[in-house]
Structure 1
Amino acid sequence: MPKMTKEDDPEAYIEAFEWHALVVGLDKRYWASQLGALVVGKAQAAYRALSREDALDYESVKEAILYRLEINPEYYRHRFRAKKDHEIRQPRVLLQQLRDLLDKWVSPVEHDREALANQIVLEQFQNDLEERTQRWVRQHTPQNCEEALRLAEAFSASEVYYPRERRSQGPSLAAPREPERRRPSDRGTPRDTVCFRCGQKGHFSRECLWQATERWALDN
């Protein structure tokens, strides 16, 4: 397991350490000392401040480090509500992270926790979606997280197959454009026209009474 760096997320590092310890089969009696030797900064200071007895207990070491770094229910609440990075906003990844954060934020003994959790995650899931996906999902008023996930993934799939149509139409209903009104013709008015048959103003040759009279005369 590589040593922790200042750029590492302490919580993510501890989780990675636990996974690594399980994979390699490290005896849990040595977890505390191994973690204490790998962490740096405030985490290392928290470990060194422990009594010798507590420094040998992994749960005590982990609790002390998280406390020193202020990783507590309020920390998870803030992360739950905060705007997520672009790479996390893929619907399935986003929903899983919100559920994980809620598990660390809300006490599991809370009354009717499952129903509460569903509504909290559903609300935040919709808030954190991409803007166009968010509008589409909200228009369909999903009642639970799974329904919201199906809507979000269906919209994402349609963006892949029909990107141009979606860009022009999309889930948001844009106001219809008013038809352009034709401007009055700049051509001359009837008063300015001159009939080339009779030479009179005010009409075209096809409307000329003289032409109609001439045809009647020829026919008779």
Structure 2
Amino acid sequence: MSGEATVLAYHAPEEQEGLLIVKVEEENYVLGQDFGLEGNPWSQEVFRQKFRQFSYSDSTGPREALSRLRELCCQWLRPEVHSKEQILELLMLEQFLAILPEELQAWVREHRPENGEEAVTMLEELEKELEEPRQQEFSACVCSE
């Protein structure tokens, strides 16, 4: 979304004529709704990105910046739900994905692993799949000679 959500409401003529346009900050509008975002892996990725992309210029000063970072971090890591070990696993997974080549990173993110071990298993399986055609080609060459 663009940063703002616009809500249009039609009121009865006795209350007000025409449309009432209300602008609401997107984050507050979305977070205030009960869409089940908290447990959704996609929303966790959205919160991670918001945390990582937040900049000082998005705030009015250092106190607000730190407060906003804390809020975004808690939305992403959810310390009220996750154990210390789970939070460490999320941080390790993020760093592991960051060091992968871009095409592998995109592929793994698309498959949404829940932890580093799951990401490694996915990559190992992908490696095996990519090596199988090479082995078949090599076998065909050896057999036909």
When the two structures are superposed, what TM-score results if normalisation uses the length of structure 1? Answer: 0.27
Name the structure with the higher strand share. Answer: 2
- Structure number with greater Rg is 1
When the two structures are superposed, what TM-score results if normalisation uses the length of structure 2? Answer: 0.37
Higher RCO (C-alpha 8 Å, min separation 6)? 2
